[in-house]
């Protein structure tokens, strides 16, 4: 087969590799690393790079392998490689076509890289790596060839690897399908922001990436124990990580899922991502930062694809699917818990702003550029936490003539008209006595404010770590450059428990905090109905002239419901004081 294919113009892929060029994390952008133009006689090799795209069934939502179609691998790197050395490098165009100048009469092969780079502006560097193989670069290698002394054509195609009953040894199309989805998402942003330069983004995928966590209950990218697809910004997990496990959950063709994670990357690198992380599900009452940070990328995926039907295929032969219509679906898929704490409310509001479908109170259709500007500029500049409030306030400021319709949109989501960045005047309490106001005012050197950290919205399937009310917010202003002393004193603790009060101070972004362990006296006196006031947290922090947000919480109420050692203890109340010399 290989010998026959070498003598015709169309060369089928010889194999997908993940060992080209060492660790993708450390490599320079390939235009910068390109070799000098070949010396001596040259020829041109041209061709087309394509990959198998597997669509979702419009009826079941699972992958429909019978409708597999070739798609061009757009803006990917192409090399002529001799031995282990690339002699020439170029990129494909928007149709997957390439043309590369190579030395005449050399033996080598054409390699396509799952890597897209443009210096810009607009500029980007998106790279698909195998996290279970030392972050090796995925590439697609053609059959060996002799460049000869005349121009020739060499096409490469990456098959899905589907045999009819399962995947074969190689799933060559997967990295290119992922990269092409990322390119589509980036192109949507570029249309709104033509001079944008995207920071380096690595996307990690492997057929060994599974829906189980590592031994410590956290993602372990090296072993592929991801738990779920996610975007990470830590030293141990930096970039997008996507599941790949056959017959369970594999996301290479789940374009909405891939773009959702790209939305997290956009928020982190261009906006102000302060997502607490943790599990979340439809109908959860979430910390408003989590609701915003999860709702925005879901809407982005639908807008960038022009398709509000979110699909995530999985199960046996990838024939099952979970999904929803993000365009205000009717019962039984209507939002079960709308509000400023709902990720579904956030994604429906984002989608309503841009889409051109008139439904109910949605009569607006703004350019995505306006949404992008608010996300990129207004939220980072706000002293409030990144929630729906500063975002919507920015939209209302930009559209002064649309105040009524914008208020109608939020009212339809059980959100009172938004008039400032802090959600003043909200009346939707989610049925709790301990979540409003969203921000409690506190006066420097004034009386204590009593707030309760709760565990009313933690559930077994989704835990308590990121739920509404476990963390409470206060706001104050400092008119002099000085220090502030913050003191939290427990006033009410569930019987048989002791409290661990903690707090964080924000000035636009996180400034400082105090998260010390509870004292011995607290543990001894509070347990069994002792003296709650023995549980105290205090710290003195520099305070330049500015506006501040103080975040307070009972530490256990930020743990998972099934935490074996310190599960949430439930409603715990504190007197909070802020003093200044």
CATH code for position 497 = 2.60.120.380
Query: Do both 202 and 247 map to the same domain?
Result: yes
Query: Do both 121 and 263 map to the same domain?
Result: yes
Structural domain ending residue among the three candidates 221, 237, 270: 270
Query: Do both 570 and 454 map to the same domain?
Result: yes
Q: Has residue 31 got a pLDDT over 60? A: no
Count of helices and strands (H, E) across the chain: 11, 29
Query: Do both 17 and 61 map to the same domain?
Result: yes
Give the C-alpha separation, 279 to 461, whole Å: 8
Query: Do both 222 and 317 map to the same domain?
Result: no
With CA atoms as reference, report the closest residue to 125 among 134, 135, 115. Answer: 115
Structural domain ending residue among the three candidates 405, 428, 451: 428
Q: What is the pLDDT of residues 152-162, one digit of tens each?
A: 999 999 999 99
Query: Do both 61 and 183 map to the same domain?
Result: yes
Per-residue pLDDT, 20: 33
Query: Do both 277 and 371 map to the same domain?
Result: yes
Per-residue pLDDT, 529: 62
Query: Do both 315 and 450 map to the same domain?
Result: no
Please calculate the CA angle 556-559-565 and round it to the nearest 5 degrees.
75
267: which 2 tokens? Answer: 């928020």
Per-residue pLDDT, 14: 36
* Residue 124 vs residues 129, 184, 187, 345: alpha-carbon distances, Å: 16, 13, 10, 32
Query: Do both 444 and 575 map to the same domain?
Result: yes
Q: What is the pLDDT of residues 313-336, one digit of tens each?
A: 999 999 999 989 988 777 677 899
Give the C-alpha separation, 140 to 79, whole Å: 10
3-state secondary structure of 289: helix
Q: Has residue 142 got a pLDDT over 80? A: yes
37 — pLDDT class (breaks 50, 70, 90): low
Domain count, the chain: 3
Secondary structure letter of residue 399 according to DSSP? -
Q: What is the pLDDT of residues 162-214, one digit of tens each?
A: 999 999 989 999 999 999 999 999 999 999 999 999 999 999 999 999 999 99
- Strands 536-543 and 482-492 turn out to be antiparallel
Per-residue pLDDT, 562: 82
Q: What is the pLDDT of residues 400-436, one digit of tens each?
A: 999 999 999 999 999 999 999 999 999 999 999 999 9
Q: What is the pLDDT of residues 89-122, one digit of tens each?
A: 999 999 999 999 999 999 999 999 999 999 989 9
- Summary mean pLDDT of the chain: 90
Which residues constitute the domain of residue 451?
434-581
With CA atoms as reference, report the closest residue to 524 among 499, 548, 502, 489. Answer: 499
Query: Do both 40 and 184 map to the same domain?
Result: yes
Q: What is the pLDDT of residues 533-566, one digit of tens each?
A: 999 999 999 999 999 999 999 999 999 888 888 9
The answer to whether 386 and 273 are in contact (CB under 8 A) is: yes
Give the C-alpha separation, 402 to 395, whole Å: 9
Q: Exposed/middle/buried for 443, CB within 10 Å: 0-12, 13-18, 19+?
A: exposed
Per-residue pLDDT, 181: 98
Query: Do both 415 and 530 map to the same domain?
Result: no
Query: Do both 465 and 446 map to the same domain?
Result: yes
Give the C-alpha separation, 505 to 524, whole Å: 28
Q: Has residue 491 got a pLDDT over 50? A: yes
Structural domain ending residue among the three candidates 270, 295, 318: 270
Q: In the predicted model, what is the mean pLDDT of residues 389-393?
A: 97
Per-residue pLDDT, 9: 27
Q: Has residue 77 got a pLDDT over 90? A: yes
């Amino acid at each position: 087969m290989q010998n026959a294919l070498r003598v015709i113009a169309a060369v089928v892929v010889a194999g997908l590799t993940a060992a080209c060029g060492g660790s993708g994390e450390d490599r320079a952008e390939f235009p910068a690393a390109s070799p000098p133009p070949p010396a001596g006689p040259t020829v041109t090799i041209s061709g087309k790079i394509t990959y198998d795209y597997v669509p979702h069934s419009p009826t079941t939502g699972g992958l429909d392998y019978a409708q597999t179609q070739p798609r061009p691998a757009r803006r990917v790197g192409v090399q002529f490689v001799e031995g282990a050395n690339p002699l020439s490098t170029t990129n494909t165009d928007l149709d997957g076509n390439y043309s590369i100048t190579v030395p005449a009469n050399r033996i080598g092969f054409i390699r396509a890289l799952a890597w897209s780079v443009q210096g810009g502006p607009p500029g980007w560097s998106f790279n698909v790596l195998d996290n279970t193989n030392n972050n090796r670069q995925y590439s697609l290698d053609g059959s060996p060839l002799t460049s000869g002394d005349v121009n020739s054509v060499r096409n490469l195609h990456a098959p899905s690897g589907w045999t009819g009953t399962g995947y074969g040894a190689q799933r060559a199309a997967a990295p290119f399908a992922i990269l092409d989805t990322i390119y589509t998402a980036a192109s949507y942003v570029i249309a709104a922001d033509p001079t944008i330069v995207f920071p380096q983004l690595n996307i990690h995928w492997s057929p060994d990436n599974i829906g189980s966590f590592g031994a410590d209950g956290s993602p372990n990218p090296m072993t592929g124990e991801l738990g779920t697809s996610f975007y990470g910004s830590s030293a141990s997990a930096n970039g997008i990580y996507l599941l790949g496990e056959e017959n369970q959950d594999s996301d290479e063709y789940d374009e909405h899922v891939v773009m959702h994670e790209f939305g997290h990357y956009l928020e982190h690198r261009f906006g102000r991502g302060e997502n607490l992380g943790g599990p979340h599900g439809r109908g959860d009452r979430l910390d408003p930062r989590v609701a915003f940070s999860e709702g925005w990328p879901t809407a982005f995926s639908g807008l960038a694809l022009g398709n509000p039907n979110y699909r995530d295929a999985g199960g046996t032969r990838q024939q099952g699917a979970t999904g929803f219509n993000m365009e205000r679906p009717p019962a039984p898929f209507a939002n079960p818990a709308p509000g400023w704490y709902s990720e579904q409310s956030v994604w429906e509001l984002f989608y309503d702003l841009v889409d051109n479908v008139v439904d109910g109170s949605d009569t607006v259709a703004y350019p995505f550029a306006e949404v992008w500007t608010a996300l990129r500029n207004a939220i980072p500049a706000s002293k409030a936490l990144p929630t729906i409030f500063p975002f919507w306030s920015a939209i209302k400021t930009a559209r002064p003539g649309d105040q009524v319709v914008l208020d109608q949109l939020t009212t339809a989501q059980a959100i009172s008209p938004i008039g400032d960045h802090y959600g003043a005047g909200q009346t939707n309490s989610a049925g709790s006595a301990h979540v409003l106001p969203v921000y409690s005012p506190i006066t420097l050197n004034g009386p204590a404010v009593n707030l309760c950290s709760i565990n009313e919205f933690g559930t077994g399937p989704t835990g308590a770590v990121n739920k509404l009310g476990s963390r409470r917010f206060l706001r104050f202003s400092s008119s002099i450059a000085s220090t502030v002393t913050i003191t939290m004193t427990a006033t009410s603790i569930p019987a048989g428990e002791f409290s661990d009060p903690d707090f964080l101070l924000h000035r636009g972004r996180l400034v400082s905090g105090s998260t010390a362990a509870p004292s011995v006296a607290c543990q001894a006196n509070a347990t069994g109905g002792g003296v709650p006031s023995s549980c105290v947290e205090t710290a003195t922090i520099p305070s330049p002239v500015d506006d501040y947000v103080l975040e307070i919480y009972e530490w256990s109420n930020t743990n998972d419901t099934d935490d074996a050692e310190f599960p949430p203890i439930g409603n715990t109340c504190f007197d909070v004081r802020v003093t200044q010399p």
